[in-house]
Amino acid sequence: MRIILIAIAMALVAASCSGKSGGAESGKIEVVASVAPITDIVKNVAGDAADVQGLIPEGVDSHTFEPTADTARLIADADVIFLNGLDLEDPTLALARSDKKDGAEIFLLGEHTVQPDGYLYDFSFPRSAGHPNPHLWMDVAYAIHYTELVRDELSRIDPGNAATYRANADAYLTTLRTLNDAVQKAVDTIPPQDRLLLTYHDSFAYFAHHYGMRVIGAIQPADFSEPSAQEVAALIDQIRTEHVPAIFGSEVFPSPVLAQIAQESGAKYEDTLRDDDLPGDTGQPEHSYVGLMLYDVRTIVTDLGGDASALDAVPTSNPYD
Ligand SMILES: [Zn+2]
């Protein structure tokens, strides 16, 4: 423990000497955000005016993430903490409430975007368990609202940079509106009877509701374990009955069950969708929220027999990289 504390202290000294950290050194506010798509949205609004860091490392299951010493250090330094809420990051939220510095704000983007009557409960997030499906950002209209909330919150906390936040948000909102229109156009090219989503991880509830698809099931049970043999058999029956052309797995949750279901049902399977792990590497244009949506929608639309070319009109470059 002592060695860890010394190491953390040395890291902090190194960081403050490098001039790259924010706070008092740079005069910039310190901002943290939870999952990578939300961190990316915040970075697009903040630009160079604030220091933004992600709390939940990419490739980690955000639903079961337990805060680490790094999370604690980032939270303790932050002026504002953006989380999704809707029970997505409960352990991180608890840590933020206990460890944030005096005057720091915790802002739950999901709770400020939909009211309880707009929450969706479904396969892996049943109403009986009491946790709504938290994946609002997979609906671009909600990501647009997140962007507006981030702009307003950063401007309130750091009014000296309000004009910068507004200009950055305006540019990003233009891209998001183009994305939103393109997603709808692309989904509309899927034959109507094939606008069906059966995914491993249940992250498309709000997406499907907005763009006119039907989520017919999710393979991952509510406790994030693997489905039982009976549940697998029922899913295979359902895929055959509904003539589902393709089923979709998630990058973060490799599952042999998905392959088995695909093989026995005759559906094509694709196991690279993502909802919190950005495609590509840091610095690449597709390593962004917009890149994530383009990747998923292109994959879904193409595998279900549609034409994804409307998405080609969406720019992916990230101004802060
Ligand atoms: Zn998820």
pLDDT over 50 (residue 14): no
Give the HSE-up count for residue 251: Cα atoms under 13 Å, Cβ half-sphere. 17
**Which of 3-17, 122-136, 244-258 is least confident?**
3-17
- The rounded distance, in Å, linking the Cα atoms of 79 and 76 is 9
Both 173 and 218 in one domain: the answer is no
What's the CA-to-centroid distance between 61 and ligand 1, angstroms?
7
| 54 Rama sector, left if φ>0, alpha if ψ -120 to 50, beta otherwise | beta
pTM (two decimals): 0.91
In a domain, 13, yes or no: no
User: Who has greater pLDDT, 5 or 29?
Assistant: 29
Q: Which domain, by its residues, includes 213?
A: 188-313
**Which of 15-19, 116-120, 233-237, 314-318 is least confident?**
15-19
Domain C-terminal end among 127, 145, 178: 178
- The rounded distance, in Å, linking the Cα atoms of 32 and 9 is 20
Percent of the chain with pLDDT over 90: 81
pLDDT-derived band at 21 (thresholds 50, 70, 90) equals very low
In a domain, 10, yes or no: no
Both 151 and 193 in one domain: the answer is no
pLDDT over 80 (residue 19): no
pLDDT-derived band at 12 (thresholds 50, 70, 90) equals very low
What's the CA-to-centroid distance between 228 and ligand 1, angstroms?
21
What's the CA-to-centroid distance between 274 and ligand 1, angstroms?
8
- Cβ neighbours for 240, distance < 8 A, ≥ 6 positions apart: 265, 266
Domain C-terminal end among 127, 148, 178: 178
- The rounded distance, in Å, linking the Cα atoms of 173 and 288 is 14
In a domain, 155, yes or no: yes
Cβ-based neighbour number of residue 87 at 10 Å: 16
Give 30's strand partners. Answer: 51
pLDDT digits (tens, 9 = 90+) for 201-240: 999 999 999 999 999 999 988 888 889 999 999 999 999 9
What's the CA-to-centroid distance between 26 and ligand 1, angstroms?
34
pLDDT over 70 (residue 17): no
pLDDT-derived band at 25 (thresholds 50, 70, 90) equals low
pLDDT digits (tens, 9 = 90+) for 150-175: 999 999 999 999 999 999 999 999 99
Both 60 and 145 in one domain: the answer is yes
pLDDT-derived band at 13 (thresholds 50, 70, 90) equals very low
Both 32 and 141 in one domain: the answer is yes
- The rounded distance, in Å, linking the Cα atoms of 163 and 151 is 10
In a domain, 3, yes or no: no
What's the CA-to-centroid distance between 62 and ligand 1, angstroms?
7
**Quick one: average pLDDT of 272-297?**
94
What's the CA-to-centroid distance between 302 and ligand 1, angstroms?
22
Number of domains in the chain: 2
Both 98 and 203 in one domain: the answer is no
